[in-house]
Each structure stands twice: as structure tokens, then as C-alpha cells.
Chains A and B, each alone.
Chain A
Amino acid sequence: MRSASKPGGISPPRIQRLVALAAAVCLFLASIEYVIPKPLPFLRIGLANLPLLLALDLFPVSHFFLLLGIKILGQSLIQGSLFSFTFLLSLSGSLASGVVMLAARRLFKDSASLIGISILGAMASNLVQLTLARYLVFGRSAWMIAPPFLLVGLISSSILGYLAQVYKQRSTWLPKVFPRAG
């Protein structure tokens, strides 16, 4: 079920190493994002989602979610939010965006680039987080920050999707590792 149907027939140990590599890149990007000053705590760039966007096509579903899980845990470790409500928001937001991106990628195939997929993922994540914030923490006023929050998410996810798409098309490394995935 795992590698038999997957591109290139990559062996399980190999794909595990690639998941580890992708996760390492996620955490590296998360640290970079953490260092960049932000005017408001909720305005995020989402750099750490770059490897996830690429992983959509490269990893089997199980490994995609493994990568997503490592990214969620690692990112909150870096931000020091592992045992706060922020973690709950980030967990549910990331899961929602993972599911939506995966579904959209399978549904749209090549008729949408990673830009569209990235936007959908960001919207899913942000809407879920806002809804949770409204019911768990801040009450009705949580929606007051919704428009700028969503707008920033839309712009940053478009740029991120563009970067992912550029990387996917131009990387000389990817076709070597995933011979038939390009």
C-alpha cells in the first residue's frame, strides 16, 4: 500500500530518510520565521509550509501526515508554545490545511499550480484558527482581526505557493530523488 503505487518505487527506508530531511528543512524555515520580527503575533508568513507543499506530490499520504506532525511539534518547540492554547490553534490549523491541500491537489491535479493549493491551505488553516479562537479564547471579538489576518495569509500564501512552484520546476535535485514525480 505504501511504496508499491508510489512514483519511482522508492523504498520505505529511503522515503523515511527523505521525510526526515524535509522535516529538518521545515524546522530550519520555522526558526528563520521565528527570528523575523512581526508587527502582530498572529501575522505569520508560514515559511515552514514550503516543504509541505512540495511533499504533496512526492510523499505517500501517510508520510505526508508524518511530516506535517513533525512540523507542528517542532515548530511549537521552537516557538515555545507547545503547552499553550497557541499549540491547539496551530495543531488544528495545520491539520486542516494539510487535509485541504491534499484533497485539492488530488482533485485539481495539474489544473491548479501550487499557488492555488497554497492559498487554499492558508485559508483553511486561518479560518479554522479564527473559529477556534472565537469559541475557546477571545469570544466574538476574534473576528475583528479576521480581515487583516486573512488578507495577510492570502498574500503570503500566494508568494509561498509561487516559490514552491518555482522550486518544483527548476530544482535539479528533485528529479534525481524522485525520478517520475516531476
Chain B
Amino acid sequence: MTASRVRIRALDIAIFLFALLIIGLISFQTYARGGGTPEITIRGAAQGAGQGAEEQWIYPLDGEATLRVPGPLGETVVVIEEGTVRVISSPCPEKICIKTGRISKPGQWIACLPNRVFITIRGKRSEQPDAISQ
């Protein structure tokens, strides 16, 4: 018992490495995701599920697609083309989502509140400034 040195066991090292591995995985997940092509996240009401349930779809911004997103009022049609996203038709009364027009940069969004559809672009922000005043 006396004057014993601390023996680091094999299991200690295994635990240390395991922790390091977890940290590595999390770092990769958080930092590597920012690069590459931005993603479009579309949230809409889940079909057949109860009130308030929602579903999420993710598309790459550089693809081409026409999507019919279900909502409580009907289908909102979203078009992805040439690096932009827009809503071309929606059953909502005010059509604000259609009037928003095309979005193409990370952080921009289109929302159709009546039909509970929400579209955002996620990804690394471009190096350009948001705006320049001259």
C-alpha cells in the first residue's frame, strides 16, 4: 500500500482513446459539414400523422427537382434549379411564399405559414458580404 506508483491500466488507455474517438467523430460532424454544397431543408406537415407532427426533407442545392410538399391546405410546389429554390404554387390565400421569389444563399428562407411549409438553405456562408453601402 505504501509508496505505490500509480499504474495506468490498459483499460484506462482504452477509455482515453475511446473518448478521443468520440471527440474526433463529433468534430468531424460539426466542422466538416460546413463545407461542400449547401443543403435545402424543407419542413412540412407529416402525412397521416397527428396535429403538429412535421416531416423534414433535405436536398442538395445543386440538384434539380420539383417537389410537392404536403400541408394542411394542400400541396405547395417547390422547384429547385440552377442553384436556386422557389415556390411556384401554393394553396395559401396570400401567396407570400411565391412572392418571396428565388433564394440561393445559406441563411435565406421561404415560409408559407398557412400551409406550414418552411424552406431554408443551410451550409457554409459565402465569403461575400451581405451588403455593401456606397
- Inter-chain contact A182/B1, CB cutoff 8 Å: yes
How many cross-chain pairs have Cβ atoms below 8 Å apart between A and B?
Answer: 67
A77 on interface, CB distance cutoff 8 Å = no
If the complex has contacts A146-B30, A166-B6, are A113 and B12 also in contact, measured as CB distance less than 8 A?
yes
Which range holds the interface residue count of chain A?
20 to 34
Pick the interface stretch among A66-74, A81-89, A147-155.
Answer: A147-155
Contacts of A166 in B (CB 8 A): 6
A27 beta carbon closer than 8 Å to chain B: no
Is chain A's interface secondary structure helix, strand, loop, or mixed overall?
helix
Residues of A within 8 A of B15 (CB): 112, 115-116, 119-120
Give A113 to B4 CA distance when docked, in angstroms: 13
Interface residues of A in 124-182 (CB under 8 A from B): 127, 143-144, 146-147, 150-151, 154, 158, 161-162, 165-166, 169-170, 175, 182
User: Once the chains bind, are B23 and A115 in contact (CB under 8 Å)?
Assistant: no
Q: How far is the CA of A159 from the CA of B23 in the complex (A)?
A: 18
Distance in angstroms from A98 CB to nearest chain B CB is 17
Q: List chain A residues, Cβ under 8 A from B22.
A: 123, 127, 150
Closest 9 CB pairs of A and B: A116-B12, A112-B11, A116-B15, A147-B27, A115-B12, A150-B23, A143-B30, A169-B4, A165-B6
